[in-house]
Structure 1
Amino acid sequence: MISFFEASLAELSIHRIGNKAQDEFYVLSEHSIALKDNLLSNLLQQYFLSPFEKTNEIYHFFHPNTDLNLNEVYHFAAQIFENGDLFHENSKELAKYLYDVSGHPKIKAGELYVAFFENVQIEGQLFDAIGIFKSETKETYLKVYPENDGFGLSYEEGAININKLDKGCLIFNTDKEEGFRVAVIDQTNKSAEAVYWKDEFLKLKIRNDAFNQTNNVLGVYKNFVTEHLDQDFEISKADKIDLLN
């Protein structure tokens, strides 16, 4: 449903978000990142976009008062789509707003990435998209390198695994009046401190249209085939695979 084989990363800003409840602060960068290394750009696209290839549910922004402009993320995203020159300034506003809603003491500090992509495909159409991502989990990596007549060994702490995106969303520049199309990722657990990303920061509702309804029906169907069908009927593994495809 979402693919990025034609996508390109046009602009990227990075900020640091602390935990407000722990009296940590945020750090804002003064300018966006200069992306001159093609390999780095490709790695960033893999890190940011590949988790969304398996996303089925599409959301839209909302606000309890029905005025979409009162939804902060919607407001800042709309400004970026309307005027790309405001990208970095609005990325800083997004960072400050995320800090304001990071009030649970167990929310982890981390880097916030705000990215602008061109030509991201969703439901067979290409759109520009704004990506908002947060990395919270750091890992340690071993590094092996040639040295003299053999090899040397070192390590790097506080590194980011590009195959493990903690939190993210993609906001597609379409359906603005309905709150844009939004895909969301949250790999953290589902406890109370985790729901702030989708419910408090983004304020999203599932998009209730024919496409999502079809996906939901297919999800129920596939769950029945994989979990229950062979309990009630005699069916071969090959036939089961055919039903899933």
Structure 2
Amino acid sequence: MIHVSAFQDLAHLAIHKVGNSSQDEPLICSQAPLALQDETIGQLLLNYFIQPFTNSAEYFRFFHEADLQLNEVFQYCKRIFADQESFYEQSVNIAKHLYKHSTHPKIKGGELYITYFNKCLTDGEEVPAIGIFKSENRDTYLKVFLSNDNYQVNYEDGININKLDKGCLVFNTEEGEGYKVSIIDSISKQNEAVYWKDSFLQVQRREDSYHQTETMVNMCKLFIQDKLPAEYEMSRVDQVDLLNKSAAYFKEKEQFQVDDFAQEVLGHPDAIASFKEYRDHFKQEFRQEIPDEFDISAPAVKKQQKVFKSVLKLDRNFHIYIHGDRELIERGYDEATNMHYYKLMFENES
């Protein structure tokens, strides 16, 4: 959980305009940090910056292939944490660094907000934090107002404070490992948005229970859907049954143990041996460290629920959702119609 409770915790704020450098749009840096006098505006900004992060449980850390100290955003944040007097200077450096990486033709220019929070709660730990936020999209708002005893309607462009386009919170903890970093990117699936996380920030997943749970969930899905059917004759019903057992394991257990999971979900010695072999291959191919035991992250399981799809799609006619006892569904073949069928057994219909 990430939380900032009071407007007073927003100690510094600088706003710069970062255009698309490949489109010859300018970088416009403000001459000084913004002094917030209006508490209402300050609270609105605080909600705009922090609200998208409140349910985030996924963390990253800064890195560089050669040396962490060569990561520019890491260095600028490190200087701010060491000396708040350097905040404005480093905010300009961050803006220049973002401008340098805003080269994709589809990247939109926008306002860049750099903030310093005295207190930010992350997973129960209260630490200072630096915020880096960018607004790229503007909305049109209607203004209804009274003029000479008659209501008038006008419009103006503005920023929707309920839609943060891009954001990053850097927490002043775990400096030696690249800090603890949380990221928001509303269009992260588009190629032009990769610049925010990969080029500008240069971050990688933090090796914690969230990342370990997410990795193991995906690995189990791939093993059940791809590896097992290639080695053994398996019906789609049996695959769905194993996916349901896997989902139940991650939802009900507090800790993952590889031997416990293999026995409880797979059961058969040959399948268990195949699973452990696949796990070793997966670790090497994707360069992932998957420990034998780790705490299961409930937020990661919730986010990955779609991985365990318990649905049988039959041509374009039927979808069968299987949630329980695999023994109550039977597959067969009808020679009269030359078609396959499923027989479902139940007690009550609703």
2:58–2:210 Cα contact (<8 Å) kept: no
Q: CA separation in 2, counterparts of 1:191 and 1:211? A: 24
| 1:145 counterpart letter in structure 2 | F
Task: Tell me the TM-score normalised to structure 2 length.
Answer: 0.63
Q: CA separation in 2, counterparts of 1:135 and 1:225? A: 32
Q: CA separation in 1, counterparts of 2:36 and 2:29? A: 18
Query: What residue in structure 2 maps to residue 143 of structure 1?
Result: 143
Asked if residue 169 in structure 1 is aligned to residue 168 in structure 2, the reply is yes
Task: Say which structure, 1 or 2, has more relative contact order (CA 8 Å, 6+ apart).
Answer: 1
Asked if residue 208 in structure 1 is aligned to residue 212 in structure 2, the reply is no
Residue among 227, 232, 238 paired with 2:322: 232
Q: Equivalent pairs: percent with the same residue?
A: 45
Deviation at 1:43, TM superposition (A): 0.3
- Runs of 5+ consecutive residues of structure 2 not aligned to the other structure: 216-295, 312-319, 326-350
SS for the counterpart of 1:46 is helix
| 2:323 counterpart letter in structure 1 | F
SS for the counterpart of 1:57 is coil
Deviation at 1:13, TM superposition (A): 0.2
1:56–1:215 Cα contact (<8 Å) kept: no
1:61–1:180 Cα contact (<8 Å) kept: yes
Q: CA separation in 2, counterparts of 1:89 and 1:210? A: 36
Deviation at 1:22, TM superposition (A): 0.6
Q: Which moved more, 1:113-122 or 1:224-233?
A: 224-233
Q: CA separation in 1, counterparts of 2:159 and 2:172? A: 29
Q: CA separation in 2, counterparts of 1:186 and 1:167? A: 5
| 1:96 counterpart letter in structure 2 | K
Alignment of 1:58-137 (within 5 A): 58-65=59-66, 67-137=67-137
Q: CA separation in 1, counterparts of 2:73 and 2:307? A: 39
- Runs of 5+ consecutive residues of structure 1 not aligned to the other structure: 236-245
Task: Tell me the TM-score normalised to structure 1 length.
Answer: 0.88
Deviation at 1:30, TM superposition (A): 1.0
Asked if residue 40 in structure 1 is aligned to residue 122 in structure 2, the reply is no
Alignment size in residue pairs: 233
Question: Residues 215, 206 of structure 1: CA spacing in aligned structure 2 closer, same or farther, 3 A cutoff?
Answer: same
Q: CA separation in 1, counterparts of 2:177 and 2:210? A: 15
SS for the counterpart of 1:76 is helix
Deviation at 1:177, TM superposition (A): 0.2
Question: Residues 224, 108 of structure 1: CA spacing in aligned structure 2 closer, same or farther, 3 A cutoff?
Answer: closer
Q: CA separation in 1, counterparts of 2:310 and 2:168? A: 33
Deviation at 1:3, TM superposition (A): 1.7
Q: CA separation in 2, counterparts of 1:107 and 1:40? A: 28
Deviation at 1:215, TM superposition (A): 6.8
Q: Which structure is larger by alpha-carbon Rg, 1 or 2?
A: 2
Deviation at 1:119, TM superposition (A): 1.2
Q: CA separation in 1, counterparts of 2:171 and 2:107? A: 27
Q: CA separation in 2, counterparts of 1:234 and 1:177? A: 47
Deviation at 1:191, TM superposition (A): 2.1
Q: CA separation in 1, counterparts of 2:52 and 2:306? A: 25
SS for the counterpart of 1:24 is coil
1:203-224 CA-partner distances (Å, limit 9, x unpaired): 0111012354357753346616
Deviation at 1:118, TM superposition (A): 1.7
2:6–2:43 Cα contact (<8 Å) kept: no
Asked if residue 30 in structure 1 is aligned to residue 31 in structure 2, the reply is yes
1:146-199 CA-partner distances (Å, limit 9, x unpaired): 223331111112x10000000010000000000000000000251221100000
Query: What residue in structure 2 maps to residue 15 of structure 1?
Result: 16
Q: CA separation in 2, counterparts of 1:13 and 1:195? A: 24
2:107–2:193 Cα contact (<8 Å) kept: yes
Q: Which moved more, 1:215-224 or 1:201-210?
A: 215-224
Deviation at 1:226, TM superposition (A): 8.4
Considering only aligned residues, what root-mean-square deviation do their CA atoms show, in Å? 2.1
Question: Residues 210, 185 of structure 1: CA spacing in aligned structure 2 closer, same or farther, 3 A cutoff?
Answer: same
SS for the counterpart of 1:194 is helix
| 2:96 counterpart letter in structure 1 | K
1:6–1:120 Cα contact (<8 Å) kept: no
Q: CA separation in 1, counterparts of 2:5 and 2:96? A: 32
Q: CA separation in 2, counterparts of 1:5 and 1:32? A: 22
Deviation at 1:201, TM superposition (A): 0.3
Q: CA separation in 2, counterparts of 1:169 and 1:228? A: 35
Q: CA separation in 2, counterparts of 1:189 and 1:80? A: 27
Deviation at 1:233, TM superposition (A): 2.6
